[in-house]
Amino acid sequence: MNTPKRHFFFLFLPILSVVLFSCGRKSEQAAEYNDSIIEKQMVVVQAFDFLDSMINSLSSSHDQTQYAYVNLLALERSGLLALDSIGSFQKDPSLQLAAKELFGFYITMTERDYRKLIDIKTMSHELITGDVVDTNIAITKRIREESQRAQDKFIIAQEEFGKKYNLKFQ
């Protein structure tokens, strides 16, 4: 009587091992997929930091600031194209779509808000009025608030993706 049970156990054990291994491998692949997106995002964030430093620096030239702006736009656009090229994760486009939305937001914010900040920075001093200062403050506040909302939305999508594939984010 024990022989059929033991026989079943020895047949079931390799199948269970394969299932457990494939689940572990899928989680590992999902983590690698997420990391590839985050690497692209970090490149863009560093370019944002560089542009911010050029805008806020009294010693940066118009050319330096313009270079930082053009570089940021190029990195955002190439990041968006790279997201298209990596495709969805095993027919699950959720994280890819969330990342594309985030990168689209980056491009819009750069073209709209950072362009205006650069225009203000390069104005001659006699043209800077109280209204211009207020506009600068409002744009800076909008960048901070909208960036936080966009990042929070991406993090929620990232956490949902992680739940599907047993990933924990720090």
Written as one string, the DSSP assignment of 56-84 is H-SS--HHHHHHHHHHHHHHHHHHHHHHH
Residue 2 pLDDT greater than 70, yes or no: no
pLDDT digits (tens, 9 = 90+) for 60-107: 999 999 999 999 999 999 999 999 999 999 999 999 999 999 999 999
Instruction: Please give the single-letter amino acid code of residue 170.
Output: Q
Q: pLDDT-based confidence at 6, cuts 50/70/90? A: very low
Other Cβ atoms closer than 10 A to 114 = 22
Which range of residues forms the domain containing residue 82? 30-164
Q: pLDDT-based confidence at 13, cuts 50/70/90? A: very low
Residues 1-9 have a mean pLDDT of 47
% of the chain exceeding 70 in pLDDT = 85
Looking at the 3D structure of the chain, how many domains does it have? Answer: 1
The mean of the pLDDT values for the chain is 87
Q: How does DSSP classify residue 166?
A: T
Whether 130 is covered by a domain: the verdict is: yes
Torsion angle of the four alpha carbons 94, 78, 70, 46, in this order, in degrees rounded to the nearest 10 = 60
pLDDT given for residue 26 in this prediction: 84
SS3 of residue 92 by DSSP = strand
Q: How does DSSP classify residue 167?
A: -
Residues 32-44 have a mean pLDDT of 96
Q: Which of 7-16, 89-98, 120-129, 160-169 has the lowest mean pLDDT?
A: 7-16
Whether 53 is covered by a domain: the verdict is: yes
Whether 49 is covered by a domain: the verdict is: yes
Whether 4 is covered by a domain: the verdict is: no
Residue 14 pLDDT greater than 50, yes or no: no
Whether 9 is covered by a domain: the verdict is: no
Whether 24 is covered by a domain: the verdict is: no
pLDDT given for residue 170 in this prediction: 67
Whether 103 is covered by a domain: the verdict is: yes
